[in-house]
Amino acid sequence: MHDTPRRAEPHAEPHAEPHAEPRADSHAVLQNASERATAYLDGLRNRPVVPAPEAELRLEALVHPLPQQGVEAAEVLRRLDTIGSPATVATSGGRYFGLVIGGALPATVAASWLATAWDQNACFRWTSPIAATLEDVSLQWMRDLLRMPQDVAGGFVSGASMASFTALAAARHALLARQGWDVEARGLYGAPELRVIVGDEVHVTVLKALSLLGLGRDRVIRVPTDGRGRLRAELLPALDDRTIVCIQAGNVNTGDFDPAAEVCRLAREAGAWVHVDGAFGLWALAHRGFDALTQGFTEADSWATDAHKWLNVPYDSGLVFVRNAGDLRAAMSATAAYLAEGDDAARHPSHYTPESSRRARGVEVWAALLHLGREGVADLVARSCGFARLFAESLSKAGYDILNEVVLNQVLVSFGSAEKTRAVIDALQAEGVCWCGGTVWQGRTAMRISVANWATTEADVALSVEAMLRAARRE
């Protein structure tokens, strides 16, 4: 048993000397941070995926009034590690299969540490030449890896939610500009009406982006989906040049892909815009073995994805791509007299994202791509999908229903009734060997297994299957 922690007393804490040499102890603090972080990562395989109840209780020690005097850096770090580290969810380990969360490759963690030390503002080229250069290089590599046209523009944002927001802002600009309407200057009051078409399985983040853009999440036209969650292209309404069609690369439940080739063909003929929500599934374009799934997706007008999912870089790291660079820049750029940018022909990062001041997200993406190479990214995708199939085969062999065709990295399993399945999920999460969430797929309650972590091994899958079967036998 652990004693109940006492609320920290601010007046009793060691404090920093305000006039101390600014960098006198920086080396020791940074070295200590490195050692603590390494020890944390080394211990992930030997701890439950979820924090113990007593670890969560200890968080109360961090809740106190702001101290009158500052606390020494070493003490801040000690407190963060000793109280904070045990209260984390071990998403960096190999047995977290919830949501679609990747881990962080060691090379990207190290790159993130260095980038944090640089403390760069990735706004303009002149605020950080290295950040801008690494974005340029990473975008070029990404276009090549994902087989996109070489003049596609891109930006580094916080995640797929903001990537879809940014891409759909570019779509809004482009479609209204064709009607002679400057939406950035005049807003939507009196603007020509746009239509947005989505599949019934549209992800909530796309709807959120539409609501933020004033296009309305409840005004969308929904198209029915098939038994695998794919938009039925034959049921699309007539398209025109005021229409945005949102499709998926990687259904969050089944992992399946909408029929992009047919949708893009119809959209091109009508002058409509196609946006791809590819938060994790877009990375399947890196492996030719998934060509049957990814056919037609490079014909879209914009794409959203997450690097902190299948590329396995630290949070937060999203990517937006838009076919016409002018549409993205027109929707996102802002200028002011005091922001002298120098070479107008150069790519300034802030002209392609909603943010001005932001961290240098391109550093970790560059590090991951350089570290893995083309073959490494393809292998990461293939290995995750292979483990997903192994989960499905093992659970099916044990007599449980797999509800989806495992075409990518997502597995849906039912343990019988809705009550039984929920009880198994609860028991599995409580034990902590691995972590999976629940969902409802076409009327059936299921446990969802998402495999997207470089650290997952065949041994992790075996341990997790054993834990699942153990939970099922108990309930």
Domain ranges across the chain? 109-369
Question: For 125-144, how does the pLDDT look when each residue is reduced to its tens digit (9 = 90+)?
Answer: 999 999 999 999 999 999 99
Gap between the Cα atoms of 399 and 413, Å rounded: 11
308/14: higher pLDDT: 308
Return the higher-pLDDT residue of 143 and 17: 143
Q: Is 306 helix (H, G, I), strand (E, B) or coil?
A: strand
Mean pLDDT, rounded, of the chain: 94
Mean pLDDT of 285-307: 98
Alpha carbons 212 and 169: distance in angstroms, whole number: 10
Residue 387: which of 95, 14, 131, 121 has the closest Cα? 95
Segment among 38-52, 194-208, 314-328, 333-347 with least mean pLDDT? 333-347
pLDDT at 336: 58
Give percent above pLDDT 90 in the chain: 91
> Residue 430's pLDDT band (boundaries 50, 70, 90)?
very high
Percent of the chain with pLDDT over 70: 93
Question: Where residue 5 falls among pLDDT bands split at 50, 70, 90?
Answer: very low
Among 4, 37, 92, CA closest to 308: 92
CB atoms within 10 A of CB 275: 25
Please say if the pLDDT value at position 391 is more than 70.
yes
What is the pLDDT, as a whole number, of residue 1? 38
Strand partners, 447: 413, 438
When pLDDT is averaged across residues 451-462 and rounded to a whole number, the result is 98
Name the pLDDT band for 337 (thresholds 50, 70, 90): low
Between vectors from CA 223 to CA 221 and to CA 228, what angle results, nearest 5°? 145
Q: With contact defined as beta carbons under 8 Å apart, do 369 and 223 qualify?
A: no
Span 26-41, average pLDDT: 96
d(CA 261, CA 266): 9
pLDDT above 70 for 450:
yes
In angstroms, how far is the first alpha carbon of the chain from the final one?
28
* Residues 6 or more apart whose Cβ sits within 8 Å of residue 395: 402, 411, 413, 465, 468, 469
Q: What is the DSSP string of 133-176?
A: HHHHHHHHHHHHHTT--TT-EEEEESSHHHHHHHHHHHHHHHHH
User: What does the pLDDT average to over 19-38?
Assistant: 82
User: Once rounded to an integer, what is the mean pLDDT over residues 296-310?
Assistant: 98
Two structure tokens written together for 148? 């996109």
Residue 80: predicted pLDDT:
98
Give which of 146, 161, 100, 147 is closest to 408, Cα–Cα.
Answer: 100
DSSP state of 82: I
Does the pLDDT value for residue 211 go beyond 90? yes
**DSSP element (H, E) containing 182:** none
Say if residue 19's pLDDT is above 50: no
Mean pLDDT of 305-323: 97
Say what the pLDDT of residue 25 is. 77
Torsion of CA 376, 378, 381, 387, to 10 degrees: -80
* Residue 117 to residue 33: CA distance in whole angstroms: 12
Return the ∠ at Cα 135 (arms to 325 and 375), rounded to 5°: 105
Where are the extended beta strands (E) located within 370-453?
Answer: 401-402, 410-414, 437-441, 444-450
Task: Please report which confidence band the pLDDT of residue 346 belongs to, taking 50, 70 and 90 as the band edges.
Answer: confident
Confidence of residue 316 (pLDDT cuts 50, 70, 90): very high
Q: Which residues pair with 255 in a beta bridge?
A: none
CATH 3.30.230.10 is held by the domain 109-369: no
